[in-house]
Structure 1
């Protein structure tokens, strides 16, 4: 019994003073690619808050008073599943959809925080998407959003999407927005 207890103590002491060679990452290898690609995308985003089948739906709203007359007062959170089309007409060919959230994030001017994934379902980029996470000052006719990632052919994407409001119904706040996105990926 005495011998096994000595061996146990020796094992405890040696394991306590032995260096541990584990790490949470693998060896860093420089990424070198001459295959950087740039693609310009042009499409229209149809955001519909009205009617029997809206594509943007209020899912949360802060308990505050103030600008309740607006469809998206400060602190409103909307879930979206909007169609992307080749042209501005609602009957234009659907090339994908955008899913995500937008949050009314300003007390002083209409500004949204956009958390979007633009999924393409037609053509060369079928099954691929770009991700946008950016501030969207919707009162400005033209604005930019940051492209921060993507999947499929747009894996590791970065870039910028330039937006222009094509149509806005001030009563229903339904909108059609033109997107010109420059996407850099590998």
Structure 2
């Protein structure tokens, strides 16, 4: 019934994801990504009129994102899917967000499948945990958690690299 694996996610502009999955996923072959460009994409879709600080981490801002999932944190890493979703900057006195994201795979063993995260993410903490709340395809009825560790965070422009170790149980 259950199956677990590890993910390594890079989060650029609080939204560009890279993934490393251990096990059979890497046996799918090597893809030459040396000519591909990966452009982080997060857009501000709503902003509180009560927010007085003009920065990429203003309380109440809502962002939408659609970013490539890659094998590693480097921009030239093999693309294996997409991370799509939204996040709300929800911490008033400490940098935190509430994130809803779909990690969808487009290659390998999990092609056409995805799992979802809906959780508070206190990104100012170096280590933290988020909830895996569902999925589709091979991740149908997924549940679990992801342990996150910040590898890099630039408070000025919002760029970050986050390592995810996800444990996913599914049917």
The answer, yes or no, to whether TM exceeds 0.5 is yes
Q: CA deviation at 1:180?
A: 0.9
1:29-178 mapped onto 2 (5 Å cutoff): 36-48=1-13, 54-68=40-54, 70-178=55-163
Q: CA RMSD in A?
A: 1.5
Task: Tell me if the contact between 1:46 and 1:82 (Cα under 8 Å) persists in the aligned partners.
Answer: no
In the superposition, the TM-score normalised over structure 1's length comes to 0.74
Q: Which has the larger radius of gyration?
A: 1
Q: Distance in 2 between matches of 1:114 and 1:164?
A: 16
Task: Tell me if the contact between 2:51 and 2:58 (Cα under 8 Å) persists in the aligned partners.
Answer: no
Question: Which structure is higher in RCO with an 8 Å CA cutoff and minimum separation 6?
Answer: 2
- Structure 1, unmatched stretches of 5+, are 1-35
The alignment covers a number of residue pairs equal to 147
Flag the structure with higher helix content: 1
Task: Tell me if the contact between 1:43 and 1:84 (Cα under 8 Å) persists in the aligned partners.
Answer: no
Structure 1 residues 106, 46: CA separation in 2 closer, same or farther (over 3 Å shift)?
closer
Deviations 1:47-90 (Å, cap 9, x if unpaired)? 337xxx5411111001014332x302111000011222211111
Q: CA deviation at 1:126?
A: 0.9
In the superposition, the TM-score normalised over structure 2's length comes to 0.80
Task: Tell me if the contact between 2:51 and 2:60 (Cα under 8 Å) persists in the aligned partners.
Answer: no
